[in-house]
Amino acid sequence: MGHRTPLYDQHVAAGGRMVDFADWDMPVHYGSLLDEHHAVRQDAGVFDVSHMTVVDVSGPGARDYLRHLLANDVDKAAPGKALYSAMLNDEGGVIDDLIVYRRADDYRLVVNCGTREKDLAWLAKQSDGFDVAVSERPDLAMLAVQGPQARSRLAALLAGPRRDAVTSLKVFGFAEDGDWLIARTGYTGEDGVEIILPGSDAVALWAQLLEAGVLPCGLGARDTLRLEAGMNLYGNDMDETVTPLQAGMAWTVVFNEGRDFVGRAALEAQRDAQPGPEQLVGLILEGKGVLRAHQRVLTAAGEGEITSGTFSPTLGLSIALARVPAGVSGEAEVEIRNKRLPVRIVRPPFVRHGKAVHQQLS
């Protein structure tokens, strides 16, 4: 038996198909992944993401520590704002991707559950010489309420500052009230919020959301939604052998003057080399079939590989993220069961706010 979130019994009661996910018993779907996917694109869905690891970072050295630890610069986030960043090793490889919430005096991180142990070890190792306290918060659960109707459905269930937060937060803003942290963030490409809260409160809120017609959604829909939204999945689209520059994450790296973050020298060398680093692109298969991770991509400039692939429920065809040589654009071929099928190379995301948005890469 794996770890269980505080919502385990609720998942089983809702018909959740429970699977092992990085040693957690999690729902992959509750009957139909497609229905759950469409609910988030068209209405509202709720995900239990309590398996993710919440870590608080405080102390007088917290800012300097995070500016050393992360490829993105926490100074870019004002208090009350969230920031997405990679955490790199000395070679520039991605140890994990994470969200930092900048509070008035300290910070909260949310990292992946599959990388929890190595992340905590790295956080501890890198804290040498900084006056910081790094503490995991296993007592907290996390719900993602996502979809065009998510905030209005949720706001109707809340009062006071929590309601105000849900209705008025700007994108990537967050607010805290008691033990609740409400952030206008997500992993679906739709509007919505993520709420970090005590486990018992999560159980009560989950029941209220389902009562209000918000559909429970599993990890399967979470994956198809994030892939349509062009968002990376750690372990698929990047890992320790890949830098953010090779993973479509250059926008999250800040080479500002005088800040020597872990992995910077390696990234600068890769950035300035010729040919440039490989790139992460989107692929669209117009014909029949489904693109899957590890299929070979054949381009004019050489071979690449699909890092994540799926059938896109919104577009009704198959999409993928793929790592290909620098400068590739236009058309390519993907090898599926010894057949070569033509694909278009595009710039992700594929879908935002319910609409197709991908652009041909040229």
Partner 1 sequence: MSDIRAELRYASTHEWVRLEDDGTAYVGISDHAQDAMGDLVYVELPEVGQELEATDEAGVVESVKAASDIYAPVSGEVVAVNEALEDTPELVNQDPYGDGWLFRIRVADTAELEQLLSANDYREQLDSED
Instruction: Pick the closer one to partner 1 by CB: 45 or 313.
Output: 313
Question: Does the footprint of partner 1 cover residue 34 (CB under 8 A)?
Answer: yes
Provide the minimum distance between the beta carbon of 27 and partner 1 in the complex, in angstroms, as a whole number.
12
Task: Put the strands of the sheet holding 45-48 in their side by side order.
Answer: 174-177, 180-183, 192-198, 140-146, 45-48, 215-217
Stretch that binds partner 1, among 55-63, 108-116, 195-203, 307-315 (CB under 8 A): 307-315
- On whether the CB atoms of residues 323 and 304 are closer than 8 A, the answer is yes
CB atoms within 10 A of CB 223: 18
Question: Does the footprint of partner 1 cover residue 226 (CB under 8 A)?
Answer: no
CA pseudo-torsion sign 176, 102, 132, 138: positive
Could you tell me how many helices (H) and strands (E) the chain has, helices first? 9, 22
Provide the minimum distance between the beta carbon of 98 and partner 1 in the complex, in angstroms, as a whole number.
25
| Paired tokens of 270 | 């890769």
- On whether the CB atoms of residues 63 and 73 are closer than 8 A, the answer is no
Question: Does the footprint of partner 1 cover residue 220 (CB under 8 A)?
Answer: yes
Provide the minimum distance between the beta carbon of 29 and partner 1 in the complex, in angstroms, as a whole number.
6
Provide the minimum distance between the beta carbon of 230 and partner 1 in the complex, in angstroms, as a whole number.
17
Region for 196 from its dihedrals, namely left if φ exceeds 0, alpha if ψ lies in -120 to 50, beta otherwise: beta
| Paired tokens of 43 | 């209405």
Token look-up 């139909």 returns 32
> Residue 312 and residue 54: Cα distance in Å, rounded?
30
Question: Does the footprint of partner 1 cover residue 310 (CB under 8 A)?
Answer: yes
> Residue 330 and residue 307: Cα distance in Å, rounded?
19
Strands (E), 277-358: 279-285, 296-299, 302-312, 317-324, 331-336, 339-347, 351-352, 355-356
- Select from 27, 289, 304, 348 the one that contacts partner 1 (CB under 8 A): 289
Stretch that binds partner 1, among 49-57, 140-148, 161-169, 288-296 (CB under 8 A): 288-296
Question: Does the footprint of partner 1 cover residue 16 (CB under 8 A)?
Answer: no
CB atoms within 10 A of CB 330: 11
Provide the minimum distance between the beta carbon of 289 and partner 1 in the complex, in angstroms, as a whole number.
6
Provide the minimum distance between the beta carbon of 33 and partner 1 in the complex, in angstroms, as a whole number.
5
Question: Does the footprint of partner 1 cover residue 28 (CB under 8 A)?
Answer: yes
Provide the minimum distance between the beta carbon of 153 and partner 1 in the complex, in angstroms, as a whole number.
25
Provide the minimum distance between the beta carbon of 232 and partner 1 in the complex, in angstroms, as a whole number.
18
> Residue 267 and residue 324: Cα distance in Å, rounded?
18
> Residue 333 and residue 236: Cα distance in Å, rounded?
20
- Select from 78, 257, 258, 337 the one that contacts partner 1 (CB under 8 A): 337
| Paired tokens of 192 | 């919505």
- Select from 115, 149, 224, 299 the one that contacts partner 1 (CB under 8 A): 224
- Select from 147, 263, 313, 349 the one that contacts partner 1 (CB under 8 A): 313
Provide the minimum distance between the beta carbon of 223 and partner 1 in the complex, in angstroms, as a whole number.
8
Q: How many residues bind partner 1 (CB under 8 A)?
A: 18
The site string for partner 1 over 36-65 (x = CB under 8 A, - otherwise) reads -x----------------------------
The site string for partner 1 over 317-336 (x = CB under 8 A, - otherwise) reads -x------------------
Provide the minimum distance between the beta carbon of 290 and partner 1 in the complex, in angstroms, as a whole number.
5
Instruction: Please list, in sequence order, all residues whose beta carbon lies within 8 angstroms of the beta carbon of residue 265, skipping any fewer than 6 positions away.
Output: none
Helix (H, G, I), strand (E, B) or coil at 128: coil
| Paired tokens of 360 | 């041909």
The DSSP letter of residue 296 is E
Stretch that binds partner 1, among 26-34, 107-115, 249-257, 266-274 (CB under 8 A): 26-34
Question: Does the footprint of partner 1 cover residue 29 (CB under 8 A)?
Answer: yes
Find residue 84's DSSP bridge partners: 99
- On whether the CB atoms of residues 298 and 332 are closer than 8 A, the answer is yes
Question: Does the footprint of partner 1 cover residue 296 (CB under 8 A)?
Answer: no
Chain contacts with partner 1 (rule: CB under 8 A) = 28-29, 32-34, 37, 220, 223-224, 288-290, 292, 310-311, 313, 318, 337
